[in-house]
Amino acid sequence: MGLLNRRRETDGASPELDDARAETDRLRLELDRARSTLDGLPIGVVVVDADGAVVSRNRSASFGRGHSEVLISEAIDRQVRQALDGRESTAAVELFGPPKRVVQVRATPQADGGAYVVVEDISERARLDAVRTDFVANISHELKTPVGALAVLAEALSEETDLAVVHRLAGKMVDEAHRAATSIDDLLELSRIELGGSAVRDPVDVRQALREAVIRSLAAAEQRDIRIDLDEPVEPITVLGDRRQLVSAISNLIDNAVKYSEPGSDVYVSTTREQSRDHAWVGMQVRDRGIGIPAKDLDRIFERFYRVDRARSRDTGGTGLGLAIVRHVATNHEGDVQVTSIEGEGSTFTLRIPVAP
Ligand code: ADP
């Protein structure tokens, strides 16, 4: 029936012509689809013929006359010239913004003598590369320092005959070995939390988690003559998540409060409740009256390896990973971690997690 109708429309034309028209329609449709797909891509694509004339460009490659866009267009021209000589070529264009961006321009020769160019914003990849390089450098430094110290101490020890000095050197070796072990433990914990993500969603009793975290930090607190005051919530509070991660985060906050307080002072652990439009939150709060954190450092203390004062943190045996762990745990639980602090007066850290519905 359909076929008969179509015959009537084309009225006397040959079946071959009908087929050719149908094929043209199909090709047009395919071309439209390819064009709209190219336009939808977040990367720019430019196609040039063998003379370097632009045959087509998608929406992401339609540049205006802004300074950055002119720099990208110039990079495209340079890479195209190389591709027309038969060489694939890539360049990274650094745009100083703001915001700062890195754009990659890659030109590839085509069989017909022309070329195509792909323009991609690789800012995030470049940032992650820099973070990874930093991370590796930091780990090497973190592990090399105590291992180097161990070697020096062992050498001194091997030539020492005075028993008192032998004891002192051996004590220092134990400290350095502990320092290396702590760094390794923290690194393993951080990578476990990063890799483990937010898969576990068990009901966790907040009171229980707080108690466990306090118990973990008791020995360190006793050593510095610091009292941990735990103010438990009256009613049970349940959150969904990974108990181990939550305990580890709270315990890191308590350990810091202990480390950065004067001997003889108190650390307070308590909870707060908050209700936003569609969420109930519990804040697990750790407050100290310690040395505090300068305002300029508050934004950065959650970065891996960041320390307000390297020398001071080294004395306290810090690795600079504790707060990075806390922030990861918060993110894994759709929560956050906040800090308020006044230098010389103390700090309050709050780990906020949504309460189980
Ligand atoms: P660290 O192992 O050095 O303690 P963290 O990641 O736990 O590393 O903390 C990063 C830095 O933030 C610390 O080096 C310290 O300078 C600062 N800091 C963290 N908690 C406190 C606190 N309660 N009081 C003062 N400074 C703190």
Q: Identify whether residues 61 and 146 lie together within a single domain.
A: no
Q: Quick one: how many helices (H) and strands (E) in the chain? A: 9, 12
Domain span including residue 239? 127-354
Distance 164 CA to ligand 1 centre (A): 35
Q: Identify whether residues 75 and 131 lie together within a single domain.
A: no
Q: Identify whether residues 23 and 161 lie together within a single domain.
A: no
> Can you give the CATH number for the domain in which 245 is found?
3.30.565.10
Q: What is the DSSP letter of 52?
A: S
Whose C-alpha lies nearest to ligand 1, atom 16? 308
pLDDT attached to residue 137: 78
Q: Identify whether residues 133 and 102 lie together within a single domain.
A: no
Ligand 1 near 347 CB (within 6 A):
yes
Whose C-alpha lies nearest to ligand 1, atom 13? 307
The mean pLDDT value of the chain amounts to 89
Q: Identify whether residues 52 and 144 lie together within a single domain.
A: no
Q: What is the DSSP letter of 145?
A: H
Q: Identify whether residues 94 and 144 lie together within a single domain.
A: no
Q: Please state the domain count of the chain.
A: 2
Q: Identify whether residues 162 and 99 lie together within a single domain.
A: no
Helix (H) or strand (E) run with residue 325 in it:
helix 322-332
93 - beta bridge partners? 103
* Global pTM value: 0.66
Report the C-alpha gap between 231 and 253 in whole angstroms: 15
Domain end (from 107, 123, 139):
123
pLDDT in tens, 162-216: 999 999 999 999 988 988 888 888 888 888 887 766 668 899 999 999 999 999 9
Alpha-helix residue ranges (DSSP H) falling in the chain? 2-10, 15-40, 67-84, 123-158, 163-196, 206-223, 243-259, 310-315, 322-332
**313: pLDDT strictly greater than 70:** no
Mutate to test the pocket of ligand 1, among 179, 256, 340 (most ligand atoms within 8 A of CB): 256
